[in-house]
Amino acid sequence: MKRAAPSNQHGRRPRKKASNGQSEHGNAGKASVSQSVHVSLGASSNPHAHKETIANKPRPYTVSVAISASMIAQLEKPELRTFLAGQIARTLTVMQVDEVVVYEDALIPASGSATAAAKSTEGAFESASKKNFDATVFLARILQFCECPPYLRKALFPIHRDLQFAGMINLESPHHTRIDDPIAFREGVTLEATRKDGTLVDCGLRNSIPAFIKDKAIKPGVRVTIKLSNPNQKLSFNSNLSSVPATVVSPNHPRETTGVYWGYNVRLAGSIGKVLSESAYEGGYDVTIGVSELAKHCVSEVVTKSSLASIVLSSDEADEADGEASTPKPFKHMMVVFGGAKGIEYSVGADEDVRAGEDECEQLFSYFVRPMASQGTRRLRTEEAVLITMTSIRNALD
C-alpha cells in the first residue's frame, strides 16, 4: 500500500499495504499494555508526558536495516515466529529505524509459489500453510502489521492466519496516537466519498470524528499522513462536530520538521545484493554498514559521532579527481546490513549477483564491524545483533 501525499511532495517513501491481515488486531495488544506496569526512573506517571520528550530536532537523514528471513525460517510454530518478529519490530521502533528490508539468502527453503521479484505481502494465504510457508513474506507481513497504528488495522488488514498472534505485539510508537493525544500529525485511512469538496479520513479521534481534507480527492482505503489544523481542540463525548480540518502531508514530514519518529517502511529484496542495488531512495545509500562477528573492529569503536561527521560522499569524488580538496557532507541515507543464520559472509558468497567472495565481503560496505568486542556465547542471534549494533549506532547519531 502506498500512502498518499500532496502533489507537490517529492521523494515520499512507499508504504505497501498488506492486503491480508487480522481483524482482531488491537484488542489483545491493547489489553496487554493496559494490564502492565511501566516503571521509569525520574519520569512522569502521565503516559502522555513522555511524548513531549520524544522529538528532539528535525532529522533530515534516514536509517535503514536489512535482515535475512532465515532467522525465522527454521522455526516450526507460528507463535515463536510471531514472537521473534515482534522482537525485531520493537527494536526497530526503539532505535528509530525508518526502513527495514527483508531479504532472502540460500538458507531459506524455496516456497515455489513466486519468484523473488514477484513476492509481496499482498495476496491470498500462500505463506500461511506449512507446505508453502514463505519466511520472507511472513516476516514482512508481521513487521507491516506491527507498524500500522492499531485503530487502522481493521481497515487495512483483512483476516490472515499469519497474523493470528500478532495482536499481542504493541510498539507504542509516537505515530500510534491515542484518542486525545494533542499531537498535530496523525495516520489515517481515507473513507468512502460522502462529500464532493474533499476527502474524509479516519484518524482515530474521539467518537470516530473524521478529519476533512478540503479540495483533495483520494480514493477510499488509502493510508495517509495528515496534519490537524487545531491539534489541541478538545473533542467531548457529546461533540456535534461532523469533521475537523486537516491537510495531507508527506510521511517524512513529521521527522523532517519536528524530529518525531514516524514508523518504518518494509521492503522485500530477493538477495543481499539487491538490498543495496534496489534502494527506495534516489541516489541510494550514502553510508553502508556490514555487521559480522568475524569483523576486526567493534561498531562502537568505528562508527562514532566524529567518523560520521567526516564522511565524504560519492558526489565529492569528482572534486578529488580535479585535485581539489573534498569537503565532508552530512549523509542522507544509512543502511545497516545483518547476515543470515550463517553470517553475512555466507549470504554474500551465495549471492550470484554480487561479484565478491566470502573473504571479500568487507569491500562492499563503508564500515564492516562486529556488534561487540567480546561475547559469552558461540554466536549472536540476529535479534541480539540488531539490538546491540543499533544501540551503538543510535548513540553515535544522537
pLDDT score at 152: 95
Q: Which residue has the higher pLDDT, 370 or 8?
A: 370
- State in Å, rounded, how far the first CA of the chain is from the last one: 31
Distances from the Cα of 227 to the Cα of 93, 212, 249, 377, angstroms = 22, 11, 7, 48
Confidence of residue 312 (pLDDT cuts 50, 70, 90): low
DSSP summary character for residue 161: G
pTM above 0.95, yes or no: no
CB 111 within 8 A of CB 70: no
**CA 333 to chain CA centroid, nearest Å:** 14
3-state secondary structure of 16: coil
pLDDT score at 16: 46
> Is it the case that residue 207 has pLDDT exceeding 90?
no
Residue the block writes with cell 535475512: 68
> Is it the case that residue 378 has pLDDT exceeding 80?
yes
- Give mean pLDDT, residues 15-27: 43
Helix 78-94 × helix 382-397 angle, to 10°: 10
Please report the domains of the chain, with CATH numbers, ordered by start residue: 62-173+263-311+330-395 (3.40.1280.10), 185-251 (2.40.50.140)
- Give mean pLDDT, residues 79-91: 95
> Is it the case that residue 126 has pLDDT exceeding 90?
no
Among 117-126, 338-347, 380-389, whose mean pLDDT is lowest?
A: 117-126
Among 29-43, 266-280, 305-319, 331-345, whose mean pLDDT is lowest?
A: 29-43
Q: Which residue has the higher pLDDT, 292 or 116?
A: 292
